[in-house]
Amino acid sequence: MIEQKKLKNGFEYLKINNKNAHAKIALQGAHLFHYQRLGHAPLLWLSGKSFFEAGKAIRGGVPICWPWFGRHKTEKNLPQHGFARNLLWKLLEARENDACSTEITLQLTSSEESLQLWPHRFELLLQVTVSETLCIALTSKNCDKKTCEISSALHSYFAVTNIDNVSVEGLENTLYFDAVTNESKTQKGPLSIAEEVDRIYQKIHNPLILHDQTRTLHIAATGSSSAVVWNPWITKCANMNDMQDIGYQTMLCIETANALEDARQLAPGEEHTLTAVFS
């Protein structure tokens, strides 16, 4: 079943239920903010203090960072992580493939508003397949007459039992930019988190594997060779107005990305798809 829902303040989302899983996707930002396989705990972390308001990104789920990841390269006043997560997308298709699989396609195209922030005409499609596995595919198309550069991320927040129980496999011996210390480093062994972590890994192994007590999650990417790992830890978390002070203990962001050297140049008419499958 696919239902179109609206909060009292007009914030719209889709509620999806099939024999395998439940999910919720906001039209603002094409933002998936809930996914849960039947009989399992929710996969995605969602802040109890998140805003569900026009123009504010939801804290949790899978925000879409696009067409730039992080701070804009030259214009520091432009919004962090681009604008796609803050704009209203159009629902193109909502389809039940069968009783066990639902496919949602949302679209964002360039507008006067987007052209003021980024001078390129584009079409962006997000296809989400909700089933026993979760598949998210983001297709960027350059509809302009000039080449554009896109850096992006499917900024997945995963719910974990406790951050102390977690390790990430697949980053071993890869180079990363450490945004906390502004240094380039090499990952030694599997990653565990015991402090603020904000890193962009390059040329990662595929899939990445998140181990959490008895649960193992595979994150398989296509169209991507970089990944971002983020946990704000104690001080940063306490300073965020949309996260509870202890929020950092039960989340970890592992973001399927096209960041730094993995940014993509799209010639006129060219398209690129970034995909993540969670299983």
- Catalytic residue numbers, as ranges: 155, 255
Q: Kindly state whether residue 181 participates in binding ligand BG6, applying the rule CB under 6 A.
A: no
Question: In angstroms, what is the minimal distance from the CB of 5 to ligand BG6?
Answer: 24
Q: How far apart are CA 147 and CA 140, in angstroms?
A: 13
Identity of the residue, 109 or 250, whose beta carbon is nearer to ligand BG6 in the bound complex:
250
Question: In angstroms, what is the minimal distance from the CB of 253 to ligand BG6?
Answer: 6
> Which residues fall within 8 angstroms of residue 239, CB to CB, at 6 or more apart?
none
DSSP state string for 169-228: ES-TT-EEEETTTTEEEE--SSB--SS-EEEEEES--SSEEEEETTEEEEEEEES--EEE
Identity of the residue, 13 or 176, whose beta carbon is nearer to ligand BG6 in the bound complex:
176
DSSP state of 62: B
Helix-then-strand count for the chain, H and E: 2, 22
Show the site string, 137-156: x = touches ligand BG6 by CB under 6 A, - = not: ------------------x-
Q: Kindly state whether residue 184 participates in binding ligand BG6, applying the rule CB under 6 A.
A: no
DSSP state string for 65-77: EBSSSSS-SS-TT
Identity of the residue, 29 or 170, whose beta carbon is nearer to ligand BG6 in the bound complex:
29
| The one among 4, 55, 80, 181 contacting ligand BG6 by CB under 6 A | 80
According to CB under 6 A, which residues from 187 to 226 bind ligand BG6?
198
Question: For binding to ligand BG6 (CB under 6 A), which residues are involved?
Answer: 57, 70, 80-81, 155, 179, 198, 228, 230, 255
